[in-house]
A and B are shown apart, each in its own frame.
Chain A
Amino acid sequence: MKPLVRANDFVVKFANVNGSGSASANRLFAQAIIRMGVPATPRNIFPSNIQGLPTWYEVRISQAGYLGARAGTDLMVAMNPQTWDKDIAGIVPGGYLFYDGTRPLPASKFRDDITVLSLPLTAICNAEYSDPRQRQLFKNIVYLGALSALLDIDPAVVEQLLAEQFKAKEKLIAPNVHAFRLGRAHAEKSLPCPIGLTVRRCDKVGESVFLEGNSAAALGAVYGGATACAWYPITPSTSLAEGFQRWCARFRTDPETKEKRYAIVQAEDELASIGMVIGAGWNGARAFTATSGPGISLMQEFLGLAYFAEIPAVIFDVQRAGPSTGMPTRTQQCDVLACAYASHGDTKHVLLFPEDPRECFEFGATAFDLADRLQTPVFVLLDLDIGMNERLVAPLAWDDSKRMDRGKVMTAEMLESGRDFGRYLDVDGDGIPWRTWPGTHPTRGSFFTRGTSRDRYARYTEEGDAYHDNMERLLKKFATARTLVPAPVRRDAAAGSRLGVIYYGSTAPAMDEALALLAAQDVALDALRIRAFPFHPDVKRFVQEHDRVFVVEQNRDAQLRSLLVVEEEIDPARLVRVLHYDGSPITASFIAEEIAAHARVTPLRRAQSHAVQPQGH
């Protein structure tokens, strides 16, 4: 088998033991490649555990800018004996293996169709360091040095990154640089450097920034004017609330008085989290919670209250594989229906589907305007893949002329002027009533908020007509939401196509690449990326314009497809499921293979038109 020869287009996977300090060395590896101008996308694959279990860090290097996951490993850095066999099996034919060769392994542990490279990393570190913790930590930097030689990564870039990383602890710079050089020197001395996989400087990164979706969404909440956050720790959303804390410490703390223009409460559970968010929203603050599927399940009753009593709330749901505890550290898009119809009774909620950290930031801010404008809960559906992984995206942008849209809030002056105030009165014809914040006016504008039915003036009633009137107005408000939420993004094939594909959220980078793969096979598709529910009118139009539309999702039950069928009354036969739900991020090759297989079948409309052709024609 001929060894792979590729520049700027390969996948490196690190197999580590979690808690061993490998994460920061691996991150440096990805950053170094990005600093060389080559797009790189890392993905953490980790267990629900703190120390001792296998963890992987996969870096896809792609000069073409494909940021989705790709199956197969071109270079395996096997540092975990526990997962050795599986790791070796995952290397593509012609690929490379790099491992710690301190202890010899029998030939049966290797494959003959890969290139095997080893350095005695443990022996090197044991000779160099006496402290056991240092031996462990520096081993990671030593292999980083070796990899820099093997892949022809500019050592100056890595050394610069080390200097930046330890800027605050300057005395750590020199020992880290030393360990890095040590590994590099050993590799240069005893291994055939560089191997067939190389990193070459290019200029495909530009102004892009590298950050996690959770951190970006938290920053979005800061820019969206959120002041109250109530949350309960749950993977993979925890870093969102913690990110908000960090950004607020920086931007919302008075430098002199130390007063905080925000409040964060770690609640006792998700019920209390959403309760606090609703209390704060009712009282005029912008408030949010961050959670994952199990939290959404617990919040159901409160979400119905917020829908029915019309209280703004923002919920960041960083989805993970369900049901139940499921796979807490694996990604899925499996809460779409649970969020869209959260709570008992007739409910519908606004959902936003960011594709990457940049949209996490953008929608993180927009969600608060929508929640205030529509006076209802707004869900931002991230998933673990974009939430907990750093991604290279266009720089975050903000328009300083933008102002918070606080929606229809009646002020003391408006009440004083004698304007009619009915909390559930549709005066503007858009289904959105006016509200007042508690404490506004001594004698006007007070009302009683309740989850029970009431009339347009918020007076308790069990009259069927008043109940019906209110429920119909809520539908009208939901129709208004269609025009306010982010519109879908459409991208047509060069010559158009009778085939379409709908996708959303973290599937986007894999889809971009899949479209290119399919185009190379002469399968042309028009593509529509849905960014919100309720669906923009363009969504139905798109489906109507195509014979068949593939709906690509990362869940078992085709949840978005169900929403399309139910809410847009689309014939299910036109919507073909493409479903990936094993907990790993969807890949371009998976999508392309599924679609190519279906696309070869006779298109539906042609089949139908054949069937209805008159006899003897």
Chain B
Amino acid sequence: MTYLPKPKLHHPDLPKNELGLTRRDYEGTISTLCAGCGHDSISAAIIHACYNLSLPPHRIAKLSGIGCSSKTPTYFLGAAHGFNSVHGRMPSVLTGAHLANRDLIYLGVSGDGDSASIGLGQFAHALRRGVNMTYIVENNGVYGLTKGQFSATADRGALNKRGTANGDNAIDMVGLALQLGATFVARSFSGDKVQLVPLIEAALTHQGPAFIDCLSPCVTFNNHAGSTKSFDYVRAHNEAVNFLDIITGREPITHEQEPGTVKLVEQHDGTVLRLRKLDTDYDPTDRAAAIDYLAHRQQAGEIVTGLLYVDSDPTDLHGHLGTARAPLNRFDDAALIPGAAALSRINASLR
């Protein structure tokens, strides 16, 4: 946490993206989270990803629930509208917002308390509906704002700061997302920016429900020995299945890896996901195999990270509903209101 305001003036030599914007143009206000909080690294990764993709900041809508993670949308994309809604209910607000205007990019930011405890139902239903969004859970296994209670993603047997073991089973959000039909599922670690930034970029360009479970240690309440969400524990058990480069249509694919170690997945919008395989047996386009693989690796005590599943041709809620291409919030009276003549025909049919 810093109390020093960021200077408004930008260094003239700061690199600019295709929109002529610098990284600073994607920032928000100063974080009020604890110094060293994993969530701040995720905010930085979001800024980085949006800058890299040259997304117009104001065309992104950032929504969150309640909690430390849900506070973070203030700390990035200051030119975007944000909505800090109610605890556990961001998915429904995001769904409604998406109904109103399908032309914006929707970024939902939530935490493990917000999405796995109070909001598990909304999390599940937004994914099964196929809302076209990027949904990031900043997962630290603990309630920060209320000072250290376990959340529903805390592993059974993990110790809290006072040394008490958690007796409940953990909810695996990646497993749920796969089962519920998310068309992009990844897990990452706030301490691994190199892995995280391309995953966020890929999720933002993905035209369907994209979910990222991002382990994000709570430095104040869950970073001690006995925790399974601490920096040390996650680093020691992190098993990445692949490394992702995202290639937008404009750039040629230059580095060819040796055959069999690279998988290219072309997304609907033309972006290409180039996956450098670290585990040669892993196929991120096979949902059932991904579920099986993850269950086995979890039993072995590994935290599997990387792009775990992607459907290169996803469908979304608007597609299922058959909604007009133009955003619903743009239609005028003529397009929406049948008028007096139609009403007199209705009257006639009601006699």
Interface residues of B in 49-69 (CB under 8 A from A): 56-59, 61, 63
State whether A448 touches B73 (Cβ < 8 A). Answer: yes
CB neighbours (8 Å) of B318 from chain A are 263
A451 to B335, Cβ gap below 8 A?
Answer: no
Chain A residues near B82: list those with CB within 8 A: 446-449
* Residue A227 interfacial (CB < 8 Å): yes
Contact with A along B196-216 (1 / 0, CB 8 A): 000000000000000000000
Chain A 266-302, CB-CB to B under 8 Å as 1, else 0, gives: 0111011111111111111101000000000000011
A259-B325, A276-B93, A449-B84 are known contacts. Are A268 and B122 too (CB-CB below 8 A)? yes
Q: Which of B78, B81, B350 contacts A211 (CB 8 A)?
A: B350
Find out whether the CB atom of A265 lies under 8 angstroms from the CB atom of B337: no
In the docked arrangement, what's the CA distance between A395 and B99, Å? 33
Q: Cβ of B317: which chain A residues have Cβ within 8 Å of it?
A: 265
- Which residue of A265, A438, A452 is within 8 Å of B81 (Cβ)? A438
How far, in angstroms, from A269 to B124 measured CA to CA in the complex?
Answer: 13
Point out the residue from A263, A447, A452 that lies within 8 Å of B328, measured CB to CB.
A263
Chain A minimum-CB-distance residue to B347: A395
Interface string of A210-239 (1 = CB under 8 A from B): 110000000100110101101000000000
Total A-B pairs, Cβ < 8 A: 219
Nearest A residue to B349 by beta-carbon distance? Answer: A209
Instruction: Evaluate contact between B322 and A403: CB separation under 8 angstroms.
Output: no
Complex Cα spacing A219 to B340, Å: 12
Write the B313-348 contact mask toward A (1 if CB under 8 angstroms, else 0): 000011001111100110111011111101110110
Chain B residues near A84 (CB, 8 Å)? none
Q: Which stretch, B100-108, B235-243, B253-261, touches the partner chain A?
A: B100-108
Measured CA separation A449–B332 after assembly (Å): 26
Q: Beyond A222-B338, A277-B96, A449-B82, is A261–B58 a contact (Cβ under 8 Å)?
A: no
Structural contact, A302 and B89, CB atoms closer than 8 A:
yes
Size bracket, chain B contacts: 35 or more
Contact mask for chain B residues 10-37; partner A; CB cutoff 8 A; 1 contact, 0 none: 0000000000000000000000000000
Cross-interface CB contact of A285 among B63, B99, B322, cutoff 8 Å: B99
- Indicate the member of A274, A283, A284, A451 with the most B CB atoms within 10 Å: A283
Asked whether B338 lies within 8 Å of A251 as measured between CB atoms, the reply is: yes
Q: How far is the CA of A271 from the CA of B56 in the complex (A)?
A: 32
Partner of A209, one of B73, B93, B350: B350
* A211 partner residues in chain B, CB cutoff 8 A: 350
Indicate if A436 sits at the interface (CB-CB under 8 A).
yes
A437 to B80 CA separation, bound complex (whole angstroms): 10
Contacts of A222 in B (CB 8 A): 336-338
- Which residues from A are CB-within-8-Å of B99? 227-228, 230, 263, 265, 276, 279-280, 285, 287
Q: Are B342 and A251 in touch, CB under 8 angstroms?
A: yes
Contact with B along A434-469 (1 / 0, CB 8 A): 001111111100111111100000001000000000
Number of interface residues of A (CB under 8 A): 69
Structural contact, B80 and A227, CB atoms closer than 8 A: no
Q: Which residue of A lies closest to B129 (CB)?
A: A265
B101 touches A283 (CB 8 A): yes
Q: Are A267 and B337 in contact (CB under 8 A)?
A: no
- Interface assignment of B79: CB less than 8 Å from any CB of chain A: yes
| Any B CB within 8 A of the CB of A208 | yes
Q: Is B95 an interface residue (CB 8 A)?
A: yes
B99 to chain A, nearest CB (A): 4
* B92 at the A interface (CB under 8 A): yes
- A305 on the B face (CB < 8 A): yes
- Provide a sorted-by-A list of 11 A–B residue pairs whose CB atoms are within 8 angstroms: A230-B95, A263-B323, A268-B121, A271-B89, A272-B91, A272-B125, A274-B92, A279-B95, A280-B99, A281-B100, A398-B339
**In the complex, the 4 A-B pairs of residues with the closest C-beta atoms, listed nearest first:** A279-B96, A275-B92, A285-B100, A276-B96
Q: Which residues of B contact A (CB under 8 A)?
A: 56-59, 61, 63, 73-74, 78-86, 89, 91-101, 103-104, 121-122, 125, 129, 317-318, 321-325, 328-329, 331-333, 335-340, 342-344, 346-347, 350-351
Beyond contacts A263-B318, A281-B96, A442-B57: 14 other A-B pairs, Cβ-Cβ < 8 A, are: A209-B350, A230-B92, A271-B89, A272-B125, A273-B92, A275-B86, A276-B96, A278-B85, A279-B94, A282-B97, A283-B100, A440-B58, A448-B73, A449-B83
